[in-house]
Amino acid sequence: MPPTSHSAKDEDDFMAGLLGDLDDSFSNVVPSLNPSPVKPAPASRPPITPQKQVPKILLKHTQLRTIVPSPSKVFSAGDVDISALLEGAEDWDWDDMNSDLPTPKKASPRKPNKTPQAPPYIPETCTRCIVESIAESEKGGYYQKILVVKLDRNEERRSVVLRDDWVATDVRIGDIVNILGEFTLVSPSSSSVTLSITITSKSNLLVLHPDLLLTATTLANAPECRRKPLLQNLVRTTSETTPSLVWGNMLHEVMQACFTASRWEKQWIDERIREVILRGLNELIKIDIGIEQAARELSARAQGLVEFSKRYLSDVPKPDAILTNTRAVYKESPALLAISQLLDIEEDILSPTYGLKGKLDATVYAVISDPVPGSSQRNLTGGPVPFEIKTGRTVAAMEHRAQTMLYTILTAERYGVQVPAGLLYYTQTTEVVRVPATRNELRGLFTSRNEMAAYMMRRNRKVHLSQTDMEDGCTREPFLPPIIDNERTCKRCFALDACMLYRKAVENVIDTTSSIADIYEMKTGHLTPAHTTFFKQWEALVSLEEQDLIRFRKELWTMGAAERETKGRCFGSMLLDISFHRQAPQVPVSGDSKIHRFTYRFIRADTAGFLPSLLNGSMNSGDPVTVSVEPNLLALARGFIVELTPDAVVIGVDHEVNPQTIRTRLRGLQRGQTPSIPSQVIFRIDKDELLSGMGRIRNNLAQLFYADGDKRRLELVVDLRTPVFKDDALSVSSSIKKYGAHLNPNQRLAMEKVITAQDYALILGMPGMGKTVVIATIIKALVAMGKTILLTSYTHSAVDTILSKLTDADFGILRLGNLDKIHPDVHKLTLANRRTAMTIEQLQHQLMTPPVVATTCLSIDQCVKNKAAREGGLDVSLFRRLSDAHPHAVVDLTHQYRMNEDIMVLSNKLIYGDRLRCGSEKVAHQSLELPDRTFLDSLHESIASCHPDGCWLEKLMAER
C-alpha cells in the first residue's frame, strides 16, 4: 500500500492504545525489560535463538564500550580499588605528567584512559511453566491475579503474581507461559510453593503461549486494529501489486547489495539497479511500467544512497553523521552515528523465549557518539543493532518504531549483546532515526502480543469438532477480536474482504445500523446460507489440520534431536562435511536464489551408539528443513533437502554455515561457565513445518466467496451446479482418430469426455491404468485445437512424469518451479534454460507463447493426520465430492497395465467388483524372469539338497 502520513491525533491514538491503562508513575522507568539485578541463567532454560560472532572493529572489542568523564569525588580509603586505579598503568604516558606542573607552557593534550570492557550480556532468566490454578485478590487497593504454575521440566510449583496492566492477560488453566525475571523465596507456609515472582509495570515479563511466534510486523500494526493482523495470519492473501510496493522491494535489494559488497559509487549503484530491474521484470509487467521508466524511478529514489555512505559508513562517527531521535529534546549537540560493518541481511530470527519472530532487513555494527550533559565530552558505544530500511516518506512512523523496538529484542538474543536501540533509515530523506527500546512501549507491545496469542489459542482449544457440531452451528468462543467499526479505516483496509467474510460466515453477525453496515452488505450480500455453512465447515477443518503443524513446529525448541529423530522428523548428530565441494546452484529467474544460496553436505558424527539410516524417517528430498546447532543455536539457516542417502544429506540453504563462527558463538554462550567447546560442531536438521501453507489454503477457499471472487467455481464446487458438455462429434472423432489410435476404449472415452467438457471432466483409475498416457494424449489434442493448458499436480514428480511423455511434442512447454525440485530431464523446459529476458517484451513472449504451462499446486497432505479433521470431512477430496454429485462426469479406466491376471484377482474381487481388465494378453501373462540362474542352479548340485517331493525354492522362484 502507498505510504500514509499520520496526524498528531493518530500519534496520540496509537500511544493511547499501546500504553492504555498506565498511570504517570510509569513514565520514568529504566529502559530495560527487567531492571532487577542480573543473575546467572539456570542451565535448564529453554533454547535461545542463534547468536553470532560480532566482528572486531576500531573499538577493539565486541561488546558495548563507553568513554565518560570522571567527575570529582571525595573518596575514603575503603572506597578505593587499587587494582582498578592501576589498570592499564603500563600504557600511561608518564612524561605527560610534567604538563600538569605550574608553568607558562600550554599543557599538551592528554591521552584518554583505557576504559574497561562493558559487563557481559547475560540473557534474562526464562522459566517455562504450565498454569495450574488462578486466583484473584486485592492488595493495597490494587487488583491482582495469583497464578500457581508448574515448571515444564519437573513437578516444582511456583507462584506468579500479576499486577497493573498484566492482570488483563487472558491466561487460563493449562496455558503455557514464559516468565522472564528472577523468582525469590517466599515466607514459610503450609503451601508447597517456595518461590514467587511479581510481574508489574516496572519489572519482569510474562509471555503467553510462547510457542506461537508472532511477527514484529503483526504486533506493530495491532494498536490500530487487533482484528487485522490476526486475519493476515489466518488468510495469506496475495497483496495487490502497486508501484510503491515494487519500488520499495527493489530498493531494498539494491541497498542490501551495496552493504554486502561495500560498494556505494553511483555507477555501481546504477548497475545494481539495472540487475534488480531485470530480475523483477515480472513485477513490472503487473504494474505495466517499462524498464527505462523503472530505472529512472529507482535512480531518483536511490539518490540518497551515495550521501548516506559518505556520511554514515565509517569506523568512527563523522561530525555530520547526525542520528535523529524524534523523542529526544536536544539541549546539547545531537548524537552521531557510524556504521562500521554489515553483519547480516534478510536475517530470520525465531525467539520461543519471547514468542516472537522476524526478518530483519539488515544487522549492522553501529558506533554511536552521545553528548554528555553539561560537558564537552561524549560517550562512545558500539554493538550490533537492527537496521530497518524504509522507502516511504513518513519519518519515524508509529508502526515503524514499534517494529524496530521488537527487533532490538531479537538482535540481543541472537548476538548476545545489549541492544538499547534500533535504527530506521528512510531512503528518500537520507535520515537515520534512532529508536530506543523503552520498557513502557515494549510492555505495551507484549501485552498486545499476549492478547492476540490468546485469541489464536481459542481456535485450538476445541480439539474435537464433529460433523454434527458444524452442521448445528454450535456456539464457540470468538477467535477474532471485534471490528473497530470505523468506516474510513475499514474501507481502506486490505483485509476488508476476509474480515467481512468471517463476520458473516463464522460469527453470524446481522448488521444494519453500524457505520460499516453498507460495506458489510456490499461484501457479503450475495452469500447464501449454503455458502456460509460451506466456508465455516471447511475453514474449521483446515484449522484442525493446522494444529498438528503447530505442534510439530514447536518440537524444534521443546524436543531434543535424539527424541525427535525417533519421530522421523529430525536428523541428529550431524557433522558438516568439509570435503564436500560446494557448487553454486543453478538459479532460476523467479528469484528462488534466496532459498538456495549455499550448498552443504552433512554426515553422521562418529559415535559409539548405533544410528539408524537417514532414509528411515519421514524426511525426503525436497522437504523444507532448518539447520541448528545442538544444543543451543536455533535455526541458523533454512533450506530444503537436495539429496538424501542412508548416511549423508545435501542441503541447499539461505545463509552461510561457518563452523568457526559457530564455535566462537558457543564460547560466548558459556560466559561465566567452564568452557567445554567440542572439537567438532554437532548439527541437527529438522523438518520445517510451513504454517504459511495453511494460510494460502484458506485464501484459496475464501476467494470463492468474495464479492469479486471466482463465481463460476463457487457454483461448481459449492452449489454443485451440473457440469456442461457440448455435442461436437466431428471434432472429437477427428482428434481421437489422429491422436488416440493407440488408446484402449476406456481411454478414448476419457479423451472424448475431456474434449467436450465446458466445466470439468473426471478420470478415475488406480495406478497402472494409463492415466499418464491418456493425459499426455489429451494435451496434444487440445493444443492442436488451439487451447492453452495448465498442467498441475500435488507433487513435482507427478508433473514431470507427464511431461516426460511430451518430449517429442512440437509445441512449447513452460515448466515453472524450483530447479532443485524439478527432474533434470525437464530442466530444458524451464525459464532458467532459456536466454535471460532483457526486456519486458521478451519475458512476455517467454511466458505467454508456450500453450502448456506446468507447475505444482498447494494442497493439504493427502494423508490427513488430524483425526477430528478426518471425521469432519477433510478426507473427502474435491474429486470425490464432484464425482458423487455428478457420476455422469466421471470416466472409469478399467484396463490396467501393471498386474498379471493372477495378481489382479485379489484387488478385483475385494475392491473393484470385477471391473478390472488386463490391458493386453501380454500383460495378463507377464512374469518375472531371472536374468541369471547360476546361483539357483548351484543349490541343486548336491542330490541331498532337495526334498524328494520337490524343491520348495524352485517352486518359489518359478518364472510365472
Do 131 and 114 touch, CB atoms closer than 8 A? Answer: no
Residue 302 has pLDDT above 50, yes or no: yes
Residue 371 has pLDDT above 60, yes or no: yes
The predicted pLDDT at position 469 comes to 52
Do 35 and 443 touch, CB atoms closer than 8 A? Answer: no
Asked which of 34-38, 246-250, 268-272 is least confident by mean pLDDT, the reply is 34-38
The predicted pLDDT at position 10 comes to 62
Do 158 and 168 touch, CB atoms closer than 8 A? Answer: no
Q: How far is CA 713 from CA 560, 709, 720, in A?
A: 46, 9, 9
Asked which of 136-140, 400-404, 647-651, 938-942 is least confident by mean pLDDT, the reply is 938-942
The pLDDT of 483-501, averaged and rounded, is 92
Which structural domains are found in the chain, ordered by start?
A: 124-230 (2.40.50.140), 462-558+692-721 (no CATH), 561-690 (2.40.30.270), 895-924 (no CATH), 930-960 (no CATH)
Which of the listed ranges 74-78, 369-373, 728-732 does the model predict with the highest average pLDDT? 369-373
The predicted pLDDT at position 671 comes to 57
Please write the tens of the pLDDT for every residue from 8-29: 566 566 555 655 554 444 444 4
Residue 419 has pLDDT above 80, yes or no: yes
Asked which of 454-463, 700-709, 739-748 is least confident by mean pLDDT, the reply is 454-463
The pLDDT of 170-186, averaged and rounded, is 94
Which of the listed ranges 66-80, 541-555, 835-849 does the model predict with the highest average pLDDT? 835-849
Do 732 and 757 touch, CB atoms closer than 8 A? Answer: no
Residue 670 has pLDDT above 80, yes or no: no
The predicted pLDDT at position 596 comes to 83
Which run of H or of E encompasses 840?
helix 840-848
The predicted pLDDT at position 869 comes to 64
Distant-in-sequence, close-in-space partners of 251: CB < 8 Å, separation ≥ 6? 298, 301, 302, 389, 391, 427
The predicted pLDDT at position 70 comes to 37
Its pTM stands at: 0.80
Q: How far is CA 660 from CA 383, 663, 830, in A?
A: 20, 5, 38
Identify any residues that bridge with 134 across adjacent strands, giving them in sequence order: 147
The pLDDT of 682-711, averaged and rounded, is 89
The pLDDT of 546-553, averaged and rounded, is 83
The predicted pLDDT at position 95 comes to 44
The pLDDT of 491-507, averaged and rounded, is 93
Asked which of 107-121, 407-421, 604-618, 626-640 is least confident by mean pLDDT, the reply is 107-121
Q: Of 337, 381, 324, 385, whose CA–CA distance to 360 is shortest?
A: 385
Alpha-carbon distance of 326 to 303, in angstroms, equals 24
439-461 helix and 227-234 helix, angle to the nearest 10 degrees: 50
Residue bearing the bigger pLDDT, 122 or 724: 724
The pLDDT of 584-611, averaged and rounded, is 68
The predicted pLDDT at position 729 comes to 72
Distant-in-sequence, close-in-space partners of 305: CB < 8 Å, separation ≥ 6? 254, 255, 258, 264, 269, 427
Do 396 and 433 touch, CB atoms closer than 8 A? Answer: yes
Residue bearing the bigger pLDDT, 536 or 608: 536
Residue 328 has pLDDT above 50, yes or no: yes
The predicted pLDDT at position 597 comes to 85
Q: For 648-710, what is the HEC assignment?
A: EEEEEECCCCCHHHHHHHHHHHCCCCCCCCCCCCCEEEEECCCCHHHHHHHHHHHHCCCCCCC
Please write the tens of the pLDDT for every residue from 17-65: 655 554 444 444 444 444 444 444 444 445 555 555 544 433 333 333 3
Q: How far is CA 195 from the centre of its chain?
A: 37
The predicted pLDDT at position 475 comes to 53
- Percent over 90 (pLDDT), the chain: 46
Do 874 and 544 touch, CB atoms closer than 8 A? Answer: yes
The predicted pLDDT at position 18 comes to 57
Burial 250-277 (b: 16+ CB within 10 A, else e): bbbbbbbbbbeeeebeeeebeebbeebb
The pLDDT of 378-403, averaged and rounded, is 86
The predicted pLDDT at position 628 comes to 92
Do 796 and 823 touch, CB atoms closer than 8 A? Answer: yes
Residue 598 has pLDDT above 70, yes or no: yes
The predicted pLDDT at position 93 comes to 45
Please write the tens of the pLDDT for every residue from 793-824: 988 899 999 999 998 899 999 999 888 888 99
Distant-in-sequence, close-in-space partners of 403: CB < 8 Å, separation ≥ 6? 216, 217, 219, 220, 358, 388
The pLDDT of 221-227, averaged and rounded, is 88
The predicted pLDDT at position 586 comes to 45
Asked which of 108-117, 133-142, 543-552, 834-843 is least confident by mean pLDDT, the reply is 108-117
Please write the tens of the pLDDT for every residue from 825-879: 999 999 988 888 888 999 999 999 999 999 998 655 444 455 666 667 677 889 9
Residue bearing the bigger pLDDT, 541 or 692: 541
The pLDDT of 498-516, averaged and rounded, is 94
The pLDDT of 111-126, averaged and rounded, is 56
The predicted pLDDT at position 912 comes to 80
The predicted pLDDT at position 222 comes to 87
The predicted pLDDT at position 15 comes to 58
Q: Of 2, 43, 450, whose CA–CA distance to 214 is shortest?
A: 450
pLDDT confidence bin for 951, thresholds 50/70/90: confident
Mean pLDDT of the chain: 81
Asked which of 378-392, 498-512, 523-537 is least confident by mean pLDDT, the reply is 378-392
pLDDT confidence bin for 244, thresholds 50/70/90: confident
Which strands sit side by side in the sheet containing 142-151, from one edge to the other? Answer: 184-185, 195-199, 157-162, 142-151, 126-139, 176-180, 205-208
- Percent over 70 (pLDDT), the chain: 79
Do 771 and 737 touch, CB atoms closer than 8 A? Answer: no
The pLDDT of 197-208, averaged and rounded, is 95
The predicted pLDDT at position 462 comes to 55
Q: How far is CA 960 from the centre of its chain?
A: 54
Q: How many CB atoms lie within 10 A of CB 609?
A: 6
